[in-house]
Amino acid sequence: MRAPGWLGVIACCLLSNGVSSQTLCESLTDDSGSFNSTNYPNNYPDDHDCRYVISVPPSKVIRLTFTDFDVEDTYDYVYVYDGNTTDSTFEIASLSGTSIPDPVTSTGSVMTVRLVTDMSVTRKGFQANYTAEDKVFSECAVGQYRCADGVTCIPAWKRCDGNNDCRDGSDEDASNCACQDIPSSLTMCRGLEYENMTLPNPLDYTHTTVARIQNSAGFSNLSTLANSVCHPRVRDLVCATIVPRCESRQQLPCRSWCEEVKFSCEKEDSWPAFPSCEIFPHTNCNNVRNSTTPEGVECFDGNGANYRGDEARGPVAGVDCDRWDNDPTFTAPYPWANLVDNKCRNPDAFGDVRPWCFTSSSSGFEFCDIIPCKGKGCKDPGQPRFGKRSPILKFYWPGERITYTCDTGFKFKQDSPPNGAQCVINNTTGEADWETPKPDCEVDHKFKLNKDLLSGNVYNKAVSPTTSRLNLKVKAYVVNIIKLDEKEEQIVTSFKAEYTWVDDRLRWERRRYGELDRTFVDYGQVWRPTLTLERNADTEYSGEFPRTEVKMEHTGKVTWPIASLTTTTCTLDPFLFPQDNMTCAVCWTAGEEYTIDCSDSATHKDSNFLTCQNDQADIVTGEWSGKTTLSAINNTACLTMTLKRDPTYHYFTTISPCLILIILMVITFIMPIDKGDRIGFGVTMLLSMVVSLVVVTGFLPVSSTLPFIAMLIIVCMGLMALFMLTTLFIIIIHDKKGPVPKWARTLFLKLLARALLMGDLTKKLTNEKSPRYSENNKVTDIEGHSNQSFKMDGDGPSAGDDDPPQNVNDEVGATLIGLKGSVDKLEVSVRQLSGSIDALAKTSSGDDDGDDDKEVAEYALLANVLDRLSLVMYIIAIAVAIPCTLLIGRPRIIPS
């Protein structure tokens, strides 16, 4: 059972103070042997403190090797001491656990092994062998000191530091740590900041005298390095290394000093003879005093890695540096860089060339304003008269710039150098100087004038210039038409204008202000008339103008330039579309107490301005063109744009199809009446006209005025519909049967047909009748009816105009009388045959073909006459509709 924890604590305290009794378990004096813990291989006892002392001949050292090891981890320990002692100062090893430790070697001929256990939990302990070996003296590296035992090497900077770092205490031996005078024979190191030294130095622990140093292999190269000019303190560093400073104890050079010199001198051929900077300490070390310029100003050497001054401010941002311990990025890896508080330092000795610090500026850091002792740069040129410079530094590196500014109320002279200068290296002299001289400042009369005239206690911009009616002069012009929307009747215009008036409060004497006759100020500093945009179409319009500068002249004349965009409404006259016109006006109205007139002045650097003498200008935008006119009446000034559309595009794309459709309607009357697709074609033309009407009206706004072309299309559509009904009537009567009334035959087939150049169609009806028979000669059919005898065409008097001779008549009469009987018989036969044929025809068709043909022919001719009449009437109607529509539909517009 483990003892209470407080008992263990008491035991440890007693042991550490040497109170617990120690037992000498075994003393070993042979050159080799073995030993083990008590009761091994059984468990060692509780609360056990046992010593094993091994002694060998004085010229030997002891090598101890454990062959078995098992003690309670962290509670029971095996201690190994160098010598016949259990003082913790000479402790070589402290072992616990079950792992077999590595061999342990003493520095002398005596070794003590001690087993200490607590009051509970035991293990079997250990078994070990030892042998006596010849002492091998250590060859300590550069930067190390060998203790008197000849085996132990410690850092050279720990020699004579007041702490026993060697087990034998030889590093703090009074005879070794005594200060000595630097001999005069070491001429290289005369004139150092100290007079006493201590040896050996960190280069070689055997350098116990100056003679040995001077006779060493590297002394020649070190002398060469010391005499070089790579760094102003390189000689001091070399001497502080070969003859370390002694002020009651040794002080080797500080590492920061070494790092600074290394940055400047590592390219020297002799630099490899110098040891690594890592062997030098960063506390309790020797450092040089801060360097100063011939004027006594603190400066830094090399890259400033050894700067130890108190500068702690970012010069550009003008703020204090941040503390280094706020960010461990540099404090951890660079403990030697003396990163204390917020002082300017250079820890990254190989990345930066001058001290710096963290700041709250945008870059996060700034280089400190510390003068380099040997660097080339420009001095502070000082501030110009009545001016300042920025940044204000004690030293400006080549490439850095300085900016000059004049004080309030002053400005740079006309021929003064630029307001900025750069520090450059002169290629001839090799020295640094400012590229341009310091400029000069003079009184700014413009500033003084503005202050005198426009100060709040003198000038009130809320009050108009005079109590009488103020007259404003205006000149303006349209720069460009940004957008013209004829359908919405809106225009977006870019314009420029200048309003001029006289304000007696703004007069001044030129001689008091350096003959200044004009000045420019922000338009918000002076009184301006309130202008209201008429016919505004912009819902987001605020009434404000873009900021501009107002020109003031010594006579009190004020000129206010305006450049802006406006959205206003227009008046469109669409009647003659596409030759329509539009009137757009951009009008500004001032208060009733003001009057506006157009300007008489024609002198201006911008010749586009319209004035009283030149009040018109041409303007073109897309398909619209016209003139802009400047006018001013009472308190209103206007830029009126009278625009006319170029009809070429719409003639070809909109009007031409309509005309073609009107002409194509004629085909309806040319097509044969009995063709069934005549009505279909006419309906197609009518629908096409409807589409054309939609296209035309789509270009124009909805208003009470219809364009002429739209009205004409509607009239033509009405005519087309009317004549389509007429055509339908003609088609109906074309197929009608029965005789045409006598009055219709005379009126249409005879008189109207002749008027329509169709000839007398009644003759055509006569020519279509069957051959005539004689009405004088009659025969009697078999039924006893008396019938007129028929004769062939050409018989009787109608065959000729001259009567035949009497003898001829007699002969013919005799012949006819002879033939009469034969003819009568033939007639009877023909009548019978004709009756049979008629009966057969009636049986098959039931109609009298001869009468039908006659009836059909008459109505067909009547339909042809009416069709021709419709064609002529359509053409006449279209021709009459054009001027009538133009005359009647023309609106009476009274311009506003």
Q: Which of the pair, 69 or 679, is modelled with greater confidence?
A: 69
Q: Which residues of 143-181 are buried (b: 16+ CB within 10 A; e: fewer)?
A: bbbbbebbbbbbbbbbbbbeeebbbbebbbbeebbebee
Whether the per-residue pLDDT at 452 is higher than 80: the answer is: yes
The amino acid at 427 = N
CATH 2.10.70.10 correct for 376-442:
yes
Whether the per-residue pLDDT at 773 is higher than 50: the answer is: no
Cα torsion 722, 727, 732, 738 to 10°: value is 110
Which of 37-51, 642-656, 848-862 shows the lowest mean pLDDT across its residues? 848-862
Mean pLDDT of 184-205: 90
The amino acid at 387 = G
Q: What is the pLDDT of residue 849?
A: 47
The CA distance from 438 to 432, in Å, is 16
The CA distance from 499 to 527, in Å, is 12
Whether the per-residue pLDDT at 706 is higher than 90: the answer is: no
Mean pLDDT of 304-327: 88
Q: What is the pLDDT of residue 851?
A: 46
Q: What is the pLDDT of residue 802?
A: 46
What's the half-sphere exposure (Cβ side, CA atoms, 13 Å) at 325?
3
Neighbours of 368 (CB within 10 A): 25
Identify the CATH assignment for 298-372 out of 2.60.40.420, 2.40.20.10, 3.20.20.80, 1.10.10.10: 2.40.20.10
Q: What is the pLDDT of residue 323?
A: 92
**pLDDT class for 350, splitting at 50, 70, 90?**
low
Q: What is the pLDDT of residue 787?
A: 45
Q: What is the pLDDT of residue 830?
A: 55
Report how far Cα 314 is from the mean position of its chain's Cα atoms.
34
Q: Which of the pair, 178 or 769, is modelled with greater confidence?
A: 178
CATH (residue range 448-645): 2.70.170.10
Report how far Cα 697 is from the mean position of its chain's Cα atoms.
44
Q: What percent of the chain has pLDDT over 70?
A: 85
Whether the per-residue pLDDT at 828 is higher than 70: the answer is: no
Q: Is 782 helix (H, G, I), strand (E, B) or coil?
A: coil
Q: What is the pLDDT of residue 810?
A: 55
Helix/strand/coil (H/E/C) assignment for every residue in 671-684: CCCCCCCHHHHHHH
**pLDDT class for 114, splitting at 50, 70, 90?**
very high
Look over the chain and give the mean of its residue pLDDT values, rounded to a whole number: 82
- Residue 633 pairs in a beta bridge with 636
Q: What is the pLDDT of residue 785?
A: 46
Mean pLDDT of 779-808: 44
**pLDDT class for 517, splitting at 50, 70, 90?**
very high
Q: What percent of the chain has pLDDT over 90?
A: 34
The two beta strands, 420-425 and 432-434, are antiparallel
Mean pLDDT of 95-116: 91
Report how far Cα 728 is from the mean position of its chain's Cα atoms.
71
155 and 143 Cβ atoms separated by less than 8 Å: yes
Whether the per-residue pLDDT at 892 is higher than 90: the answer is: no
Q: Which of the pair, 251 or 669, is modelled with greater confidence?
A: 251
516 and 452 Cβ atoms separated by less than 8 Å: no
The amino acid at 51 = R
What's the half-sphere exposure (Cβ side, CA atoms, 13 Å) at 840?
6
Q: How far is CA 779 from CA 25, 357, 772, 786, 829, in A?
A: 193, 155, 16, 5, 12
Mean pLDDT of 618-638: 90
Check residue 510 and report its DSSP letter.
G
Whether the per-residue pLDDT at 329 is higher than 90: the answer is: no
Q: What is the pLDDT of residue 349?
A: 63
Which of 185-189, 324-328, 481-485 shows the lowest mean pLDDT across its residues? 324-328
Q: Which residue has the tokens 């020295």?
A: 431
Mean pLDDT of 807-830: 55
386 and 410 Cβ atoms separated by less than 8 Å: yes
Check residue 535 and report its DSSP letter.
T
Q: What is the pLDDT of residue 858?
A: 82
Q: Is 856 helix (H, G, I), strand (E, B) or coil?
A: helix
439 and 417 Cβ atoms separated by less than 8 Å: yes
Which of 188-192, 341-345, 400-404, 725-729 shows the lowest mean pLDDT across its residues? 725-729
The amino acid at 466 = T
Q: Which of 402, 401, 398, 404 is nearest to 424 (CA)?
A: 398
127-141: pLDDT as tens digits:
999 999 888 888 888
Q: Which of 632, 643, 531, 639 is nearest to 585 (CA)?
A: 639
Mean pLDDT of 282-289: 90
Whether the per-residue pLDDT at 844 is higher than 60: the answer is: no
Whether the per-residue pLDDT at 265 is higher than 60: the answer is: yes
Q: What is the pLDDT of residue 646?
A: 87
Q: Which of the pair, 593 or 350, is modelled with greater confidence?
A: 593
Handedness of CA 744, 746, 747, 748 (dihedral sign): positive
Q: Which of 13, 40, 59, 7 is nearest to 115 (CA)?
A: 40
Q: What is the pLDDT of residue 252?
A: 93
Which of 193-207, 708-722, 854-868 shows the lowest mean pLDDT across its residues? 854-868
- Residue 325 pairs in a beta bridge with none
601-623: pLDDT as tens digits:
766 678 889 988 888 999 998 88
Q: Which two tokens stand for residue 884?
A: 């009538």
**pLDDT class for 433, splitting at 50, 70, 90?**
very high
Which of 143-147, 698-702, 719-723, 842-846 shows the lowest mean pLDDT across its residues? 842-846
Q: Which of 780, 804, 777 is nearest to 788 (CA)?
A: 777
653-702: pLDDT as tens digits:
888 888 888 887 777 777 777 666 777 887 888 888 888 888 877 777 77
How far from each other are the two terminal CA atoms of the chain, in whole angstroms?
A: 120
Q: What is the pLDDT of residue 184?
A: 87
Q: What is the pLDDT of residue 15?
A: 42
The two beta strands, 470-485 and 594-598, are parallel
Q: What is the pLDDT of residue 769?
A: 43
The CA distance from 148 to 164, in Å, is 12
The ranges assigned to domains in the chain are 5-134, 144-288, 298-372, 376-442, 448-645, 661-793+812-896
Whether the per-residue pLDDT at 171 is higher than 90: the answer is: no
The CA distance from 307 to 742, in Å, is 139
The two beta strands, 378-379 and 365-367, are unpaired
Q: Which two tokens stand for residue 273?
A: 């003879």
96 and 24 Cβ atoms separated by less than 8 Å: no
Q: Which residue has the tokens 């049967």?
A: 737
Whether the per-residue pLDDT at 561 is higher than 80: the answer is: yes
Most confident of 6-10, 355-359, 466-470, 577-581: 355-359
CATH class of 144-288: mainly alpha
**pLDDT class for 708, splitting at 50, 70, 90?**
confident
Q: Is 767 helix (H, G, I), strand (E, B) or coil?
A: helix
Q: What is the pLDDT of residue 834?
A: 56
Mean pLDDT of 472-485: 91
**pLDDT class for 237, splitting at 50, 70, 90?**
very high
Q: What is the pLDDT of residue 825?
A: 61
Q: What is the pLDDT of residue 829?
A: 62
Q: Which of the pair, 168 or 280, is modelled with greater confidence?
A: 280
Whether the per-residue pLDDT at 776 is higher than 60: the answer is: no
Q: Is 589 helix (H, G, I), strand (E, B) or coil?
A: strand
Whether the per-residue pLDDT at 847 is higher than 50: the answer is: no
The CA distance from 500 to 472, in Å, is 6
**pLDDT class for 65, splitting at 50, 70, 90?**
very high
DSSP-assigned states of every residue in 691-757: HHHHHHHHTS---S---HHHHHHHHHHHHHHHHHHHHHHHHHHHT--SPPPHHHIIIIIIIIHHHTT
Q: What is the pLDDT of residue 883?
A: 85
Q: Which two tokens stand for residue 471?
A: 């007259």
CATH (residue range 5-134): 2.60.120.290
pTM of the predicted structure, to 2 decimals = 0.53
DSSP-assigned states of every residue in 393-434: -SEE-TT-EEEEEEPTTEEE-TTPPPSEEEEEE-TTT--EEE
Q: Which residues of 207-233 are buried (b: 16+ CB within 10 A; e: fewer)?
A: beebeebbebebbebbbebbebebbeb
Q: What is the pLDDT of residue 318?
A: 84
Neighbours of 730 (CB within 10 A): 22
Whether the per-residue pLDDT at 111 is higher than 90: the answer is: yes
Q: What is the pLDDT of residue 710?
A: 80
Q: Which residue has the tokens 């004497």?
A: 509
Whether the per-residue pLDDT at 766 is higher than 80: the answer is: no
Cis peptide before 200, with omega less than 30 degrees from 0?
A: yes
